[in-house]
Chains A and B, each alone.
Chain A
Amino acid sequence: MTLLDRVPTGKDLATLWEDAPGIPGFFSSVDHKRIGMRYIYTSFVFFFVAGLTALVMRAQLTTPESGVLGPQLYNELMTMHGTTMIFLFNTPVLAGFGNYLIPLQLGTRDMAFPRMNAFSYWIFLLGGIFMYLSFFVGKMPDGGWFAYPPMVSKAYSPGINMDFWGLGVVFVGLSTTVGSINFIVTIFKLRAPGMSLHRMPIFVWSMLVFSFMAIFAVPAVTLAAGLLELDRLFGTSFFVPALGGSALLYQHLFWFWGHPEVYILFVPATGMISQIIPVFSRRPLAGYLWVAASLVTIGFISFGVWVHHMFATGLPPLAMAFFSAVSLIIAIPSGVQFFAWIATMWKGTVRLTTPMLFAVGFLLIFLLGGITGVMVAVLPFDWQVTDSYFVVAHFHYVLNGAVVFPIFGAIYYWMPKMTGRMLSERLGRLSFWVMFVGFNVTFFPMHILGFLGMPRRVYTYRDGLGWEGLNVMVSLGSLVFALGTGITLVNFLISRRRGRPAGDDPWDADSLEWSTTSPPPDYNFASVPVVASAHPLWDQKPLPYASSGSDEETRGLGPEGAVERETPITSGIDTAPEGNLTIPEDTYLPLMVAVGLAVFFLGLLVNAAAVGVTGAALAVVGAVWWTWRTEEDLA
């Protein structure tokens, strides 16, 4: 308590909050910023790996009857490309941005459950490594990223390949669920005083919707993959028609997660766009409430569209008509957002910086992806184009164009906050243009290939079907696109070494993360800001900070709270201070539980009971210890 005799300096606080040095600190940190950046870096490693697999596949598909890859290897790379992009890049990279940004944007000192946060990262990392172990034994999953049984059942897929996938999906799903719970509690309970719901940055809204969707959707895929593994490992027959199981049950479970998942990815991407566009249009977002309401609406409606992935399975037409209609309706909230963005730019003064270029590129790409999305909702049209290259084009416009472009925009926009150094604008613009051209040259012709009858997921095709020229174009485009992403990688590496210092607020932006230093101190804010606007940095100059009161509720608002490693808890609606949350010290427990679970899954994979039991024991001991420590902290 001696520190409280004088006003603590930043140096005092830094000592209190910093992680242990070196490797122990690396494995024990619970700081949301370190975890967030690890999420981002790790998922980008997976992004580039999955991108390379795409290039190898394109090498095979450039010419008809090509022999670059055999069917087995092609199918494996195809499966790992999709699996990696969805499970190991898109979802975790957004979780990474959420982890890093949400506490800063809310004006708090960490996430609600910092150890859970570390745990969810370790699970993600170990889950990714688990799936990629398959490369080292040469038995990569080969059942496609949606792994339909009975093709992936033991009878038709006897190898260990699909076990890497099934167990990996169950494992990684834990990470998303745990992370989502953490986001929701953080957003509802740790907002700075004055930040009522209608003053939250749109990115926070989008992560709130992401989290609620994930909590309801992920269990479905966990169940699907889990039952599949019961079939495969223990001989049950949930999905084995010959033994009374149902092949379609799996598809329902999978897509009950799978379609919301598209929006789980898309919603935070639009949240990023809603942050970037106003800042570079020099005015607040038009229709803030419209946009927030759209995100929530999308969250609900997205649970009523999954059957449009199953239009060709022979379901009754009346049932399909319902899903067809809902799939059309979900275009409306996206349209609302789109016109809010246009209105923002229209009434503002647009600066075409690199983040803004990516946002504009997103608009032009998503517009097309959204339009083709409406098309595939039209039942009879979908019968023709589903499982053709038209659909490959459509979902790359949405999942690559409309998610990856915002993520790149976010890298250029927020990386200066994270590293303290600017990225080069010149390389950034170059990267954008190369990516934008490469993207369209790669994916636009795929629409036409689908029309010309090219089915999806083929490792080769015959000569003379009129597909040759377009396939060459697609392959060339993919090289250009890859080059564009590579330029950003180089830009990032250069920036880390000798990028221009960013300063606190290089963009003159409006949200709270820009009020602190770049990179922010470990404790984020010595005193918690007091918010009175949806754009505190624009409207509240200078930004006021709270000071600690003498009572229990307000004790943590000022630097005294930072000294105590506490962050204020506020009421969910009107953000009245309610108490304080103690931020735990570094701990190995999350890592221990995650490793235990990884060993447990490894035991299942190799069918070694001793290994499985050891892992489970490690996880249980870790979890008990973890819980027990919490009780001690409270006492």
Chain B
Amino acid sequence: MTPGRRRWLPAAGAFVLVAVALPACGKDSPSILDHHGPEARHVAGVWWLMFGLAAAVYVVVAGLVVIAIVRGRRTSTPAEDGAAVVRAGTDRRSESAFIWAGGIVAPVVILAILAVVTVTTTRDVRRAQDGELQVEVTAKRWWWDVRYPESGVATADEIHIPVGRPIDVVLRSDNVVHSFWVPQLAGKLDAVPGQTNHLRFQASTPGTYLGECAEYCGLQHARMGFIVIADAPADFDRWLARRSGAGTGPTSEATAEGQLVFMREACAGCHAIRNTQATATLGPDLSDFGSRQWIGSVTLPNTRGNLAGWISNSQTIKPGNLMPPISLEPDELDALVAYLESLK
């Protein structure tokens, strides 16, 4: 058997697999190579450069390992065949040259390339620019509070941005450390309590991009997603305008009843809805809840059934989240769901 060769081939094969499969795999995934913004594009470029270098280094060095083994290999133990020990001394110089070349010169060249790439890429991304749109994002346990300071619009777990405009996410946490990550747009930045961080990025293609909390933040770290919706500038302006105007209030009997339930029950103790008496900030702002795609920070699609289940007992869906179970009569629950889904 030729174990050396067998070992080398799968490793090289695996690298080819990555090169071929990675872009394909990412079809449904928030893949860092499926880039839709300048930072993600830069980093994907850095990756492909590094991948080329890495593949070359791996194949050459692993090849040397295999050749070194295969030359004059034996399977017996030394004591069994009494193999004489080869003494060095005469070829010290060639060994040194080999170690110099492989262990110092080659790495220095490659690392120098990477150092230059690091510096130039770092310089090109996350720079403050004119005309930035500020979005204040505060990481909560376990959801994201989103505010647009210029227009006073508040929402949660969904960040709408205009395509092509530089965005400045003003990132804070008032509890534990979290990390803001939208793989298709940019790398991570932590939300660290006691400090304000700025993540500057932009989207270059309209679309919906999955975001995640990337720093372990306790019980429901896994269910602390959000989405970034990049719209054409005109669509974004419309979206913002609709939320900053005066609300219409309940438009039907059912939603009016739902609003009463909302104010009467525990809901208003934690949540805010624009243009109502509900102004609490413990939980997500629900002013445009009906237009959001997800419930519970990308835990469930926003449907009436899911919402009813969530309100009744979200603890079975996202155990440990800070919303207590709310027990309501069926008709009250229906009205509340109708009201929340009417908020757009």
Q: Do A and B originate from a single complex? A: yes
Q: Collect the chain A residues with CB atoms within 8 Å of residue B64's CB.
A: 342, 346
Q: Collect the chain B residues with CB atoms within 8 Å of residue A312's CB.
A: 179, 187-190, 214-215
**Option from B7, B18, B69, B222 in Cβ contact (under 8 Å) with A345:** B69
Question: Measured between C-beta atoms, what is the minimum distance from B36 to chain A in Å?
Answer: 13
Say yes or no for B14: interface residue by CB 8 A criterion: yes
Q: Bound complex: CA of A448 vs CA of B26, how far in Å?
A: 9
Establish whether residues A452 and B11, one from each chain, have CB atoms under 8 Å apart when the complex forms. no
Q: Bound complex: CA of A313 vs CA of B195, how far in Å?
A: 10
Establish whether residues A451 and B31, one from each chain, have CB atoms under 8 Å apart when the complex forms. yes
Tally of contact residues, A, Cβ under 8 A? 108
Establish whether residues A538 and B85, one from each chain, have CB atoms under 8 Å apart when the complex forms. yes
Say yes or no for A198: interface residue by CB 8 A criterion: no
Q: Collect the chain A residues with CB atoms within 8 Å of residue B220's CB.
A: 71
Establish whether residues A448 and B21, one from each chain, have CB atoms under 8 Å apart when the complex forms. yes
Residues of chain A from 320 to 360 with CB closer than 8 A to chain B in the complex: 320-321, 324-325, 328-329, 331-332, 335-340, 342-343, 345-353, 357, 360
Question: Measured between C-beta atoms, what is the minimum distance from B221 to chain A in Å?
Answer: 6
Establish whether residues A387 and B104, one from each chain, have CB atoms under 8 Å apart when the complex forms. no
Q: Bound complex: CA of A321 vs CA of B57, how far in Å?
A: 24
**Option from B68, B106, B215, B223 in Cβ contact (under 8 Å) with A335:** B106
Say yes or no for A286: interface residue by CB 8 A criterion: yes
Q: Collect the chain A residues with CB atoms within 8 Å of residue B91's CB.
A: 347
Say yes or no for A121: interface residue by CB 8 A criterion: no
Establish whether residues A151 and B176, one from each chain, have CB atoms under 8 Å apart when the complex forms. yes
Establish whether residues A314 and B192, one from each chain, have CB atoms under 8 Å apart when the complex forms. yes
Residues of chain B from 58 to 107 with CB closer than 8 A to chain A in the complex: 58, 61-62, 64-65, 67-69, 71-79, 82-88, 91, 95-96, 98-99, 101-104, 106-107
Q: Which residue on chain B has the smallest CB distance to residue A75? A: B219
Establish whether residues B115 and A383, one from each chain, have CB atoms under 8 Å apart when the complex forms. no
Say yes or no for B135: interface residue by CB 8 A criterion: no
Which has the most chain B C-beta neighbours within 10 Å: A368, A386, A452, A461? A452
Tally of contact residues, B, Cβ under 8 A? 111
Q: Bound complex: CA of A52 vs CA of B114, how far in Å?
A: 39
Establish whether residues A374 and B114, one from each chain, have CB atoms under 8 Å apart when the complex forms. yes
Establish whether residues B122 and A364, one from each chain, have CB atoms under 8 Å apart when the complex forms. no
- B-contact 0/1 string along A246-289, CB 8 Å cutoff: 11100000000000000000000000000000011011101100
Q: Collect the chain A residues with CB atoms within 8 Å of residue B82's CB.
A: 508
Q: How many A-B residue pairs have CB under 8 A?
A: 329
**Option from B3, B14, B187 in Cβ contact (under 8 Å) with A357:** B3
Q: Bound complex: CA of A312 vs CA of B179, how far in Å?
A: 8
Segment at the A interface, from B41-49, B153-161, B233-241, B282-290: B41-49
Question: Measured between C-beta atoms, what is the minimum distance from A357 to chain B in Å?
Answer: 7
Segment at the B interface, from A12-20, A100-108, A170-178, A463-471: A463-471
Say yes or no for A27: interface residue by CB 8 A criterion: no
Known: A283-B87, A351-B74, A375-B54. A241 touches B193 (CB 8 A): yes
Known: A367-B58, A466-B25. A339 touches B74 (CB 8 A): no
Establish whether residues A71 and B319, one from each chain, have CB atoms under 8 Å apart when the complex forms. yes
Establish whether residues B46 and A380, one from each chain, have CB atoms under 8 Å apart when the complex forms. yes
**Option from B27, B43, B79, B195 in Cβ contact (under 8 Å) with A380:** B43
- Give 8 A-B pairs besides A75-B218, A324-B115, A455-B212 with Cβ atoms closer than 8 angstroms: A148-B216, A245-B194, A284-B88, A360-B65, A378-B114, A383-B186, A466-B27, A507-B78
Interface positions of B (Cβ within 8 A of A): 3-4, 7-8, 10-11, 14, 18, 21-22, 25-33, 39-40, 42-43, 46-47, 50, 54, 57-58, 61-62, 64-65, 67-69, 71-79, 82-88, 91, 95-96, 98-99, 101-104, 106-108, 110-111, 114-115, 117-119, 121-122, 125-126, 141, 171, 175-177, 179, 181, 183-184, 186-190, 192-195, 197-198, 210, 212-223, 298, 319-320
26 inter-chain pairs at a CB distance below 8 angstroms, sorted by A residue, are A71-B320, A75-B218, A150-B175, A151-B176, A156-B175, A282-B83, A284-B87, A312-B188, A313-B197, A314-B171, A328-B111, A335-B104, A336-B103, A343-B98, A347-B86, A347-B88, A349-B72, A349-B86, A360-B65, A360-B69, A374-B110, A380-B43, A387-B216, A451-B22, A466-B26, A506-B77
Instruction: Give 8 closest A-B pairs by Cβ, nearest first.
Output: A383-B187, A241-B194, A336-B103, A453-B30, A458-B222, A339-B102, A314-B197, A345-B68
